[in-house]
Amino acid sequence: MAPIASTLVAVLGAASLASAQTPNRPGTQNRYPFAKPYEQSFLDGYSVLKHVGGQGPYSNRDSYGISRDPPAGCAVDQVIMLKRHGERWPDPAPAANFKASLQKVYNTNTTAWTGALEFLNRWTYFVPDGRYIALESYNGPYSGLLDGYRHGAEYGVRYGHLWNQTAANLTIPMFSSGYERILTTARKFGEGFFGWNYTDVVAMNIIPEQVYMGANSLTPTCLHDNDTAICGNLTNLQPQFRLAATRLNAQTKNLALNATDIYNLMQMTAYELNVRGYSDWVDVFSLDEWLAFGYTQDLSYYYCSGPGDKNMKAVGAVYANASLSLLNQGPDAASGGNALWFNFCHDTNITPVLAALGLSSPAEDLPLDHIPFPNQYNTGNIVPMGGHLTIERLACNATAVTDKDTYVRLVLNEAVVPYAGCQDGPGFSCSLANYTRLVSASLPDFISTCGFNSSYPQYLDFWWNYNTTRAYDVETQNPIPAGEGLLTYQGTAA
């Protein structure tokens, strides 16, 4: 497909975070002989976006068909979100791998490419050394900066009623872990949500990604995590990669790619989508090969930062437990009536929280020797770039079958995911009382599990002790000092 055409398709396809699941309802406008009121072809399962794990552009989680809007008789009165940074350029180590594998391609000295790699007659590499490395992308349909802004703008429509615009000198805190691309995402989101009022209203708090923060962190870790043996050895095992290598090597004289190179080039493809919005490399690999690549990502998240790692439920318990406190305080008691709690971190800080809440956790460990179908732990559904977990507190009137009460709903990448074992509330929500009881009973203890002693902060505290300075709302001429770990800047040469 020509670049321009595929970009256009991508723009239309990526139109909205919030409305993508709105069905094409039958109605007078749709009673047109050529428009199907209900789509018959569910081709989304074949989208490459679902098979690049956390490396590629955002897509909504596959939905169970539960309405994204609040159930009838309910209104959201508090929202707590944990969002990953937007689409970005590769980090230094993968970028070096891309160059090494591309070098093997170009070292064939081919002057006229044919077959699957014919496009190399025109293609150019897209990652400049230096400053762009590790930062968010800025052009194209999958621009990372646009992801943050658009998400904020859409949440402004969905949750803007929780922003009390008549309150004088209102401060709404936002929280970013101390990493450049994450802070950038938080700022774009804030600009999208609060518009011209962003710098009047928001107090951006930066929570250092440092071990000394203990539990008072958006990025908690264990002091000793010993599972690197399995974690470092999950990729490149897929026979599909050897198959692709053999196929491509047969098409080009002197080409000697191996499974590692195929893995690197597939990973590179995901980043080309982030940066350019299209990639000729997508079609170099078969759907089965993309599925295999995606599964390597699932294994990595599952065993290294998800439910397959014995410590990760405890790591995620920090946020899960603290959010229980916020939910039980509600919008009126907490921090001057604020009901908006927007937090920003990395993918591997969200997967532990999901593990702690049992969200998307398969009943059995993911197999290492084959790809399971169905695969509940498809990370394209869990932590794509821009992935986010949104906890909604619902104030609901009585219905014929449910009481007037406060309920909780978990929304993962814009799909409602009922909390296991408690879904009797409106819209498959759980009453706040039951949710609190069940979640608190299930959480392991972070401090003891992760080897911290009493000299470290024992709880997440910053939601109740935030700073009101607007100094970090925007980029200034004077970068935030990296000293004391306040902010980690990336962008050094590959």
Ligand X SMILES: *[C@@H]1O[C@H](CO)[C@@H](O)[C@H](O)[C@H]1NC(C)=O
List 34, 38, 196, 373, residue binding ligand X (CB under 6 A)? 196
Residue 124 binds ligand X (CB under 6 A):
no
Residue 399 binds ligand X (CB under 6 A):
no
User: Which member of 77, 309, 347, 405 is catalytic?
Assistant: 347
Closer residue to ligand X (CB): 9 or 398: 398
Closer residue to ligand X (CB): 36 or 161: 161
Closest CA to 466 of 210, 215, 173: 173
Residue 442 binds ligand X (CB under 6 A):
no
Residue 299: in which H helix or E strand, if any? helix 287-305
Residue 165 binds ligand X (CB under 6 A):
yes
Residue 200 binds ligand X (CB under 6 A):
yes
Residue 122 binds ligand X (CB under 6 A):
no
Residue 228 binds ligand X (CB under 6 A):
no
Long-range CB contacts (< 8 A, 24+ apart) of 280-289? 280/119, 280/123, 282/48, 283/116, 284/116, 284/117, 284/244, 284/248, 285/244, 286/240, 286/244, 287/46, 287/51, 288/240, 289/240, 289/241, 289/243, 289/244, 289/262
Residue 164 binds ligand X (CB under 6 A):
yes
List 218, 222, 275, 317, residue binding ligand X (CB under 6 A)? 317
CB of 416 to ligand X, least distance (A): 16
Residue 365 binds ligand X (CB under 6 A):
no
Closer residue to ligand X (CB): 365 or 424: 424
Interaxial angle between packed helices 239-251 and 259-276, expressed in degrees from 0 to 180 and rounded to the nearest 10: 90
Residue 197 binds ligand X (CB under 6 A):
yes
Across 388-471, the runs of DSSP E, i.e. the strands, are 388-396, 405-412, 415-416, 430-431
CB of 383 to ligand X, least distance (A): 23
Catalytic site residue 161?
Answer: no
List 236, 249, 375, 376, residue binding ligand X (CB under 6 A)? 236
Closest CA to 352 of 215, 186, 196: 215
List 260, 329, 375, 376, residue binding ligand X (CB under 6 A)? 260
Catalytic site residue 85?
Answer: yes
CB of 446 to ligand X, least distance (A): 6
Amino acid at residue number 383: V
Closer residue to ligand X (CB): 69 or 200: 200
Q: Name 189's Cβ contacts closer than 8 Å, sequence gap at least 6.
A: 83, 148, 149, 151, 152, 155, 174, 342, 344
CB of 227 to ligand X, least distance (A): 9
Residue 321 binds ligand X (CB under 6 A):
yes
Rg (CA), the chain: 23
Q: How many CA atoms are closer than 13 Å to the CA of 380, on its beta-carbon side?
A: 23
Residue 376 binds ligand X (CB under 6 A):
no
| Pairing of the two strands 415-416 and 405-412 | antiparallel
339 and 79 in contact (C-beta within 8 Å)? Answer: yes
Residue 240 binds ligand X (CB under 6 A):
no
Residue 75 binds ligand X (CB under 6 A):
yes
CB of 396 to ligand X, least distance (A): 7
Q: How far apart are CA 403 and CA 432, in angstroms?
A: 12
489 and 479 in contact (C-beta within 8 Å)? Answer: yes
Closest CA to 117 of 246, 251, 287, 226: 251
Report the greatest alpha carbon distance in the chain. Answer: 74
Active site residues per annotation: 85, 347
The site for ligand X (CB under 6 A) is made up of: 73-75, 104, 107-109, 164-170, 196-197, 200-201, 205, 224, 226, 229, 233, 236-237, 254, 258-261, 317, 321, 325, 337, 397, 422, 424-425, 430-431, 434, 443, 445-446, 453-455, 459, 462, 465-467
